[in-house]
Amino acid sequence: MAIPFLVIGCCSKEIWGEFVSLLLFTLFALQIINWGNKEYLLRQFSLNPGKITRLYSQILWTRFPLVLAFTVFGFVLYPAEFGIWIFCWLAGRYFNHSVEVLLVYEKKFGAAIGIELLSFVGFCCSLYFLSAVFNFYLLLIVYSLYQLLKGLCYFLLFQDYVSFRELKMDFSYFERSFPFFMLSVLGFLASKADVYIIEQLGNKTVTADYQIINSLLVFTMSLSAFIYAPFTKNIYRNTKEVIEKIQKRVAMAGLFLVPVALGIIHFILLLFIDLKLSIFFYCVAFLYVYPCFIYGMDIIDLFRRHQEKKVVWYLLVGALSNMVLSALGLYLNYGILGVLTGSAMAQLLVLLLLRLKSFEK
């Protein structure tokens, strides 16, 4: 999350605002490339621990053609010289996302922190030494190599889980994991649709500002998952009563964590990009962030009961609502606040739908 601040500080907000367009393309491409990988495999690993190597190897190989397909799209949609760097970017994230399920399952968070820090230091050094000649294309090269090197480090960390005998295409995976794929895409759209709208309808400076705001808020939302993600395999094996107890604790933690995080975000925006937002904006931001501290466990419970298709419908409603309400807020000239208000209303709607479902027998 520090990268936008570094780029803006070393170069300009306009360069980062222009880069957001390419960032959004790769983010969407990776939703397809991942194809519900982490969510599907986490449940499979929890239920079939003896088949981890076979499942991981097959699905890793099965998804790789999607990397090549979106690389071709990159050559078509962007200048030809961007293509190879888009491939490096996508390949790095492909390896990175592929091992996320193993990272959570094996809890190798110390090694992950080391990889993140070393790769980030490498990016910072490149940015520092090249800052005098930095431009959009050079940013693409440095950022793509940063992603590739980080992804390869993650892949090497878990290379023992790759069995070359199991590197076989299993196209039935796409059908079996389709609900998880839809969940991932809809979750992505629910959190990023407002950024796409800003990017299409706003100028580069506004786009840069809102992309940073959105990233900080989405990171705050992910704090809820950080609390329970390491224990997901245990949650799958527990009862509804245990899940409800965990949910209450996560919700209570959110009442403390979210206001603190919003306070930190206020100072980050003020100090690094000179952006001062109103108290009302942060109240709306709380309504945008906090619902996931409640409904996150509802989604896990539905996964546990193999009812992920219901979650797909709820998140579809949320994603569509986010797009419509955010666009309406921008159309009515409420700017960033209008877009965020639309996103908050969509989040509250998803919360309502999931909570009503949880009360059903």
CB 176 within 8 A of CB 59: no
**Residuewise pLDDT in 10s, the chain (361 residues):** 788 888 887 877 788 888 888 988 999 899 999 998 887 887 788 777 788 888 888 899 999 999 999 999 999 999 999 999 999 999 999 999 999 888 888 888 899 999 999 999 999 999 888 877 778 899 999 999 999 999 999 999 999 888 877 778 888 889 888 888 887 888 787 777 778 787 776 667 778 788 889 889 988 998 887 877 666 666 666 667 777 788 888 899 999 999 999 999 999 999 888 888 999 999 999 999 999 898 888 887 787 777 777 888 888 888 888 889 988 887 888 888 888 999 899 999 999 988 886 555 4
The Cα–Cα gap between 22 and 249 comes to: 39
CB 358 within 8 A of CB 301: yes
Residues 58-82: b if buried by 16+ CB within 10 A, e if exposed = bbbbbbbebbeebbeebeeebeeeb
pTM for this structure? 0.74
Token duo for residue 232: 């997901």
The Cα–Cα gap between 179 and 170 comes to: 17
Environment class of residue 56 by beta-carbon count within 10 Å: exposed (0-12), middle (13-18) or buried (19+)? Answer: buried
H/E segment holding residue 64: helix 52-77
- Give 299's contacts (C-beta < 8 A, 6+ positions apart): 183, 311, 354
